[in-house]
Amino acid sequence: MSRKYLEPVIRDESIQFQENNNSKLANTIINNSFFGICIIAVSFRVLIIAVIMLAACALWSLLTLKASMKTFAMMGGILLFLCLYYFLGLSHYERGPEKFTNAFSLILFSFVFFFILGYKETVEGRIKWLNFFSLCSIIYVITVCIYSILKGYPGYNLVYDPINRSEENSPLYALQLVLFSIAYVNFNWSKQRRFFNIALILIATFFSVLYLGSRAAFFLIIIFFTLKIITRKHSLLLFFVLIIMAALIIMNFASDLNITNSFNFGGFSERGLDSPRFSMFIYGISNFLDYPFGGLKVHAEGYTGIWFHNMLLDLVRVSGYYVMFLWLIILIVTTCFLMKFNDKKYIILFIIVNVAFMQDLAFDGFFNLMALEFYLIGASLVKAQKFNV
**Which amino acid is residue 143, in one-letter code?**
T
Rounded CA-CA distance 38/56 in Å is: 9
**For residue range 337-360, what is the model confidence (pLDDT) as tens digits?**
998 877 789 999 999 999 999 988
Q: What pLDDT shows up at residue 254?
A: 44
Q: Half-sphere exposure of 182 toward its Cβ, with a 13 Å CA cutoff?
A: 33
> Which tens digit of pLDDT belongs to each residue from 119-149?
987 878 889 999 999 999 999 999 999 999 9
Beta bridge partners of residue 166, listed in sequence order: 161
Residue 359 domain boundaries = 3-386
Cβ-based neighbours of 236, under 8 Å, separated by 6 or more: 227, 230, 344, 347, 348, 351
In this structure, of 98-112, 124-138, 274-288, 313-327, the range with the lowest mean pLDDT score is 274-288
Q: Supply the pTM of this predicted model.
A: 0.86
User: Greater confidence, 7 or 321?
Assistant: 321
| Residue 121 main-chain phi, psi, to 5 deg | -70, 155
Query: Which alpha helices (H) appear in the chain, and where do they start and end?
Result: 3-43, 47-63, 69-89, 97-120, 123-150, 171-187, 194-205, 215-229, 233-257, 266-271, 277-287, 311-319, 321-338, 345-357, 367-386
Residue-level pLDDT at 153: 95
Give the pLDDT of residue 251: 46
Q: Which of 12-16, 132-136, 175-179, 279-283 has the lowest mean pLDDT?
A: 12-16
Task: State residue 247's pLDDT score.
Answer: 58
Total tally of structural domains belonging to the chain: 1
> If you average pLDDT over residues 176-192, what whole number do you get?
94
pLDDT value at 55 more than 70: yes
